[in-house]
Structure 1
Amino acid sequence: MEISDLTPAEQRVWRAFPTGVSVDFRESADEDMAEGAHWGPERTVRASVVRALLLNGPREPGEIAALKVSGARITGLLDMPYGATESAVRLSHCHFDEVPMLYGARFRQLNLSNSVLPGLTAATVRVEGVLRLTDARIQGPVRLGGAHIAGALFMDRTHLSAPDDSEPVLQLNHAAIGDDLWAPGMRSHGQVRLDGAAVTGAVNLEEAQFHNPGSTAISALSFDTGSDLRMRFVRARGRVDLRGSRVPARFDLTRAHLSNPEGTALRVSSCTVGELWLLRGVLDGVLNLRRAHLEVLYLDPEMLPDKVFLSDLTYTTLTPHEPAERRLHMLERDPRYEPHSYEQLTAAYRRIGDDYAARRVQLAKQRRLRTTRAWYGRLWGYVQDVTVGYGFHPLRAAVWLLSLLAVGSTAYALHHPHALKPSEAPHFNPVFYTLDLLLPVISFGQEEAFAPDGWYQYLSYGLIITGWILATTVVTGVTRTVSRQ
């Protein structure tokens, strides 16, 4: 392309390129780039001119060529599939009439900040430095699947939307980012897909908004970060799905508001996370933590939704410290009885030395298990619960025994049972006779020597049955205590 074929605006850009001088067409710093379709030829640059500069632009010895343009209208198709340029590219505050086609292209650095685009097709793009889309407004799919970005990806306050929901508005699936993914304040209307992506540094989505109600707002299956995943103050309408992802440091959802009332609001199943923070936020929908492995779970009980899936969830520490009654709500909101969940909570309390809370959790486990039994199993469970609290309240057995001992001793003191062999019978003692009936193992020789009649005989039957029940539940409780120690 010859410079004589260029418009005055394009000649400015062409002459500035060899030395990397910036060309700014803006009339004021607060211009609205959305009005770029009405800009005249004095600030219009054809995409073919941009392509020619990047692929075979003029060079000057001793200078570093770069394309730095602000406030221009880029007309036509910027078509650079598999193209490569050694020059830095900054097309900020620009308005693109057509979707740039950068599939498989290679850039030293690419900056489209504050620009307005109808979309961006740059799957498998290679960027040796950073890719900046800060404050960009993109009204079509952003295709960055399989991209390799050696530096950081900046999408802070980027607005993403699409005319239809046939595909995600942002595709970063299987992308590799060598530094941070920086997108605080980002806005998206449609699905954001991060499946299989790997970020060496941290991911910052604080105060971002994701809007895709009734479907998936964020899909990050097998997503891998090298540090934190920050989602403080995030607002998401639609499912947030991170199944199988890895966050070695902090996954922070403090004050996040995730809403998907008809389905799952947050899915962290099969994830490996250093610290999961669920504090002072709102979860409107199902919370799925199945098979997740967490070192630390920071959980605000008030943030729990009505339904929680906890099957095979493991965690080392649960904080802040709360009474067992407040933590048990989490387990009770799982539709299925999961004994492993109760054991996890018990272990968390025992690690910090709160054995009382651990016993409360174990008692709750037995009561939840009772609801899964047949009617006779539930009946026996109620008996154990009332008598000795499944062995976790052994003092109740003493109270029952003393009460029954008092009743039996009084009854038989007022009406002595007759001796079976009067000549051989020992002296009758109502207290030890009642103990013989209550205690199935110990014998004081009273029960074999005397036989009550009438309703006193039925009282003896009741004492014998009650004694067996109490003895069985006490042995169960002692066995459980010994096994814990």
Structure 2
Amino acid sequence: MTPAERQVWNAYPSGAWIDLRSSDAEGNRAANGAEWGSERQVRAEVIAALLTGAREPDPGKIPGVRLAGAHIIGDLLLSDAEVRDKLHLLNCYLPGVVHLTDASTQGLRFRGCDIHRIRAARSKIDGVFELDGSTVRTGLRLDNAHITGQLRLSRAFVSSPPPHKRATESAFEDMGHPYTEEDLKERFLGQQPWALWAGGLTVDGGAFMRGLRTEGGLRLIGATLNGGLYLQGAELRAAGDLALFGDFLEAKTAEFSANFKAEGGIRLRGARIGGVLSFDRAELSAPTRSLHLSHMQVDELIMMPKSIKGEVNLAYSRVGVLFDNPSSYPDRVHLNGTNYESLRGTWTVAERLDWVCRDPGGYRPHPYEQLAAWYRRIGHEPDARRVMLAKQREHRATLRPTGRGWGRMLDAVVGYGYRPWQAAVWAGVLLTIGTVVFGIHPPTQIDPDEKRTFSSFVYTLDLLVPVSLFEQRAAWEPAAGTQWLAWSLIASGWILATALIAGTARVLRPSNPP
């Protein structure tokens, strides 16, 4: 053994720290580890031997490998191992691969380290798995792993593996046998490289990734993060379309806030968030879809990003409280099937109406019905009627020419039944015109022997009512110049009555609540 290895070997039974760092702070940075001399080099096989029982612990002591400022030579091979003691590396340089596949370990800490790659698929880590401030240069695999404590990646930098490296490893891990290089290229052509591959990951104590930076996305499909996901201030740069792929993720809370940045889409289709999902002060950008949150369930969704480029999909999601503002959304928003219990924010009705009509697929009835239902629940019936009127107007554009014509007439006369007072206005205008015109040019009495007193107001009103109530029509014959007005009043009366009945029936028609 080298002197450094002997120190580590002797310190293991008591778990004492071995610090190989120099007095030069800049030289102690793990990124400079390749320049360190042999006095700071420790073979990975020595560490693996200690962690797998090569030495007995001192009585009354807690054994473990605690090492600072070391250059770890070779791959750390702990796959399938049962490690009962803790490994704590500080400012260490690991140019090889840390193999933890199918391992069962105690807490693992790599703080401020520079690591080539970590493979820990299906591992069980009883405690904390920490990479705070570390750099992982070719990806971190935690698919189907179980961490009973916390996953810590705060202020870390993780980069995805190059395509050939990713294909070679996956050929053995996923396909079961080696393939030729051409087979591998064909098999993985077009697949997105991931900085963190963690589908099916379970973390009991929460995933803390504040200030994390990545070159490549996070793959968290089906992950269960019981303590929540915390990405405040993180910067995710996708190597493909997605910066985070988290379909069916389950978490207590999820924070993409406090200047969180994503270059690539955030996809959480079918996710279950038991508390708050926050995009407060986030910067989101993607060529097509920046947020895909469809079929999701969340107690509270905070949509207050600093900026967002790319469409948002909230279709068929169930949201308890939606807290947003007028500038929260891009021009394309999918809201069909979205249900929410409460809306919070500084919106006007006009801004909400502009929000619900941004579906790229065109008119959808459900967003209007859901918005109107919410206004009714809070006692704003006039606003609910305004929303439903806007719905009918949008729907009209999808009809055939005859339907659009009838719709425009209903809109103009009674506002599709949501503005019945418009019929009264029209009736008042026509009644005034008829009263004035027939007052100036009174009609001729049909039966001169019958004694009647002419009233232009009553005569006009009798013409407007579809069924004669005052027996004025049969008693008076309009003068030739006013015959057209009489006919127009009779026709207008029928139109007003028909539109009022049709509009009222539309409003009163029972429908299932959204």
Q: TM-score range by the shorter chain?
A: over 0.9
Letter in 2 for 1:307: R
- Aligned pair partner of 2:128 in 127, 130, 136: 130
Matching residue of 1:27: 22
Matching residue of 2:33: 36
Q: Is structure 2 residue 7 aligned with structure 1 residue 12?
A: yes
Matching residue of 1:76: 74
Matching residue of 1:271: 296
- Aligned pair partner of 2:336 in 306, 311, 323: 311
**Distance in structure 2 (CA, Å) of the matches to 1:86 and 1:67:** 11
Contact map agreement 2:194 2:239 (CA 8 A) in 1: no
Moved more, 335-344 or 128-137: 335-344
Deviations 1:236-259 (A, max 9, x none): 011110000000110011011110
Contact map agreement 1:119 1:138 (CA 8 A) in 2: yes
- Aligned pair partner of 1:330 in 339, 350, 355: 355
Q: CA deviation at 1:378?
A: 1.9
**Distance in structure 2 (CA, Å) of the matches to 1:343 and 1:452:** 49
Contact map agreement 1:18 1:57 (CA 8 A) in 2: no
Moved more, 390-399 or 64-73: 390-399
Matching residue of 2:187: none
**Distance in structure 2 (CA, Å) of the matches to 1:218 and 1:401:** 60
Letter in 2 for 1:40: G
Q: TM-score, normalised by structure 1?
A: 0.94
Q: Is structure 2 residue 255 aligned with structure 1 residue 255?
A: no
Letter in 1 for 2:251: T
**Distance in structure 2 (CA, Å) of the matches to 1:69 and 1:354:** 66
Contact map agreement 2:256 2:282 (CA 8 A) in 1: no
SS at match of 1:448: coil
Structure 1: which 5+ runs fail to align? 1-5
Q: Is structure 2 residue 220 aligned with structure 1 residue 220?
A: no
Q: Is structure 2 residue 402 aligned with structure 1 residue 376?
A: yes
Q: TM-score, normalised by structure 2?
A: 0.88
Contact map agreement 1:297 1:315 (CA 8 A) in 2: yes
Q: CA deviation at 1:316?
A: 0.4
Deviations 1:338-390 (A, max 9, x none): 21111111122222222232222122112111211222222222223233333
Moved over 6 A (4+): none
Matches within 5 A, 1:442-481: 443-452=469-478, 454-479=480-505
SS at match of 1:222: coil
Q: CA deviation at 1:325?
A: 0.8
Deviations 1:398-421 (A, max 9, x none): 222121112122222333344455
Letter in 1 for 2:350: E
Q: CA deviation at 1:321?
A: 5.0
Matching residue of 2:317: 292
- Aligned pair partner of 1:340 in 361, 366, 383: 366
Matching residue of 1:113: 111
Structure 2: which 5+ runs fail to align? 164-191
Contact map agreement 1:82 1:105 (CA 8 A) in 2: yes
SS at match of 1:130: strand
**Distance in structure 1 (CA, Å) of the matches to 2:212 and 2:93:** 20
CA 1:482–1:426: 2 relative to 1, 3 Å: farther
- Aligned pair partner of 2:207 in 167, 181, 188: 181
How many residue pairs get aligned? The number is 479
Give the alignment's Cα RMSD to 1 decimal: 2.1
Matching residue of 2:154: 156
Q: CA deviation at 1:232?
A: 3.5
Deviations 1:272-299 (A, max 9, x none): 0000001152221100000000000001
Q: CA deviation at 1:177?
A: 0.6
